[in-house]
């Protein structure tokens, strides 16, 4: 096995590999990346047994075909420190030694044979759906903030992707909740028979990374227990979460008639400032809402207090309510409109937050008792 390739081309692919490979080293082969030269291309594969990342590079000079696996982290770190646009020359010297030469640098990397590297099937029965890159990325970003980190309820550790209908149009809808907050975002798609599934947290973050860095056409295809995303030459194949997502519509408020409108950026900045007084964000931020302003305050027994007032419009009588400051910042940071619309009922009921510039997204957040 012998080949040469440009540093920048290989580094881009290895950058995506870093988010997939197993860091805990329970199985050494899962910390490695598979490099395979065949059919005039270099194939790159990484997996943690739940996610598979595949890419192929055609701009490569092949002397001898072959394959090997080597540490993804070490190879990535070396390439980051080699000058941009350098030529990389690889040669497999033996079954467990890969030579890498570039400019004045010379490395010998330990390898593991490809026999033990997991194989994967690329066959999916489901209908292939074409998606708009930027819109799907927006859907993922708006919903992933509410993914639960509590592994005891594994069915909340991802985004629930499913079809919804409104006004005769079909939408792909993503929903996530950690039981304290909920995010929902939808994008219109052509009519199809996509089966509902829960996309795991790690897959969501890896997919966001891919979509941020490439503008290639995105397609999605699913089968009973896995899903495949294709972006040009790249593929991301993932297991889906085995579980039933709760009936989230039951917690979405429908009768919150007290409307608070605040400038989005001012609201985020103000919360961040007053919350700085507390190291524990769970202490919460209190909102004292009046007709034309909101008084934000944080009072920490351990570190002091902070207060700030911002202009606002409120359609009802004065109301005091408290929230986890991080949850509010996460939601408000995803709002596209210059104003944030907060629909309230009282100081203890779930609150509905809307984005006036994105009618297909909304958020629900539970108040705190302070």
Model confidence at 282: pLDDT above 80: no
CA distance 206 to 236: 9
Give the tens place of pLDDT for each residue, 125-159: 777 899 999 999 999 999 999 999 998 999 999 99
The pLDDT assigned to 216 comes to 86
- Give mean pLDDT, residues 282-292: 90
In the CATH scheme, what is the homologous superfamily, with its name and number, of domain 252-365? DNA Polymerase III, subunit A, domain 2 (3.10.150.10)
Give the tens place of pLDDT for each residue, 2-33: 999 999 999 999 999 999 998 776 788 999 99
- The secondary structure of residue 368, as a DSSP letter, is B
pTM confidence score: 0.93
CATH code for the structural domain at 2-116? 3.10.150.10
Number of H helices, E strands in the chain: 6, 26
Give the tens place of pLDDT for each residue, 201-218: 999 999 999 999 888 889
**322 forms bridges with which residues in the sheet?**
286, 368
- Longest CA pairwise span in the chain (Å): 78
Give the tens place of pLDDT for each residue, 38-73: 999 999 999 999 999 999 999 999 999 999 999 999
The pLDDT assigned to 281 comes to 62
CA distance 42 to 30: 19
Q: Where are the domains of the chain?
A: 2-116, 129-250, 252-365
The pLDDT assigned to 111 comes to 95
CA distance 250 to 350: 11
Model confidence at 361: pLDDT above 80: yes
Give the tens place of pLDDT for each residue, 87-123: 999 999 999 999 999 988 999 999 999 998 998 877 7
**6 forms bridges with which residues in the sheet?**
87
In the CATH scheme, what is the homologous superfamily, with its name and number, of domain 129-250? DNA Polymerase III, subunit A, domain 2 (3.10.150.10)
């Amino acid at each position: 096995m012998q080949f040469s390739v440009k540093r920048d081309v290989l580094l881009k692919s290895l950058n995506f590999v870093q988010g997939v490979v197993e860091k805990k080293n329970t199985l050494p082969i899962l910390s490695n990346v598979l490099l395979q030269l065949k059919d005039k291309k270099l194939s790159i594969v990484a997996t943690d047994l739940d996610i598979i990342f595949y890419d192929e590079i055609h701009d490569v000079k092949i002397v001898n075909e072959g394959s090997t696996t080597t540490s993804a982290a070490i190879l990535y770190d070396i390439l980051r420190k080699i000058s941009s646009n350098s030529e990389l020359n690889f040669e497999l010297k033996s079954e467990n030694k890969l030579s890498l030469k570039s400019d004045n640098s010379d490395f010998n990397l330990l390898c593991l044979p490809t026999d033990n590297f997991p194989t994967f099937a690329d066959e999916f029965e489901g209908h292939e759906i074409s998606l708009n890159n930027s819109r799907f990325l927006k859907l993922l970003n708006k919903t992933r903030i509410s993914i639960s980190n509590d592994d005891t309820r594994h069915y909340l550790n991802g985004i629930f992707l499913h079809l919804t209908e409104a006004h005769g149009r079909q939408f792909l809808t993503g929903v996530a909740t950690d039981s304290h907050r909920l995010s929902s975002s939808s994008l219109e798609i052509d009519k199809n028979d996509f089966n509902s599934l829960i996309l795991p947290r790690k897959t969501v973050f890896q997919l966001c990374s891919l979509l941020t860095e490439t503008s290639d056409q995105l397609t999605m295809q699913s089968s009973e227990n896995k899903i495949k995303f294709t972006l040009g030459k790249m593929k991301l194949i993932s297991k889906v979460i085995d579980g039933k997502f709760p009936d989230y519509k039951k917690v979405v408020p429908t009768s919150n008639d007290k409307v608070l409108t605040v400038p989005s950026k001012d609201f985020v900045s103000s919360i961040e400032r007053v919350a700085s007084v507390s190291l524990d964000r769970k202490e919460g931020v209190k909102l004292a809402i009046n007709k034309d302003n909101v008084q934000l305050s944080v009072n920490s027994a351990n570190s002091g207090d902070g207060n700030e007032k911002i202009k606002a419009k409120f359609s009802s009588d004065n109301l005091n309510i408290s929230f986890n400051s991080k949850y509010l910042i996460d939601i408000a940071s995803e709002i596209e409109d210059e104003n944030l619309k907060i629909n309230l009922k009282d100081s203890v009921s779930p609150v509905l937050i809307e984005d006036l510039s994105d009618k297909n997204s909304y958020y629900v957040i539970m108040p705190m008792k302070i």
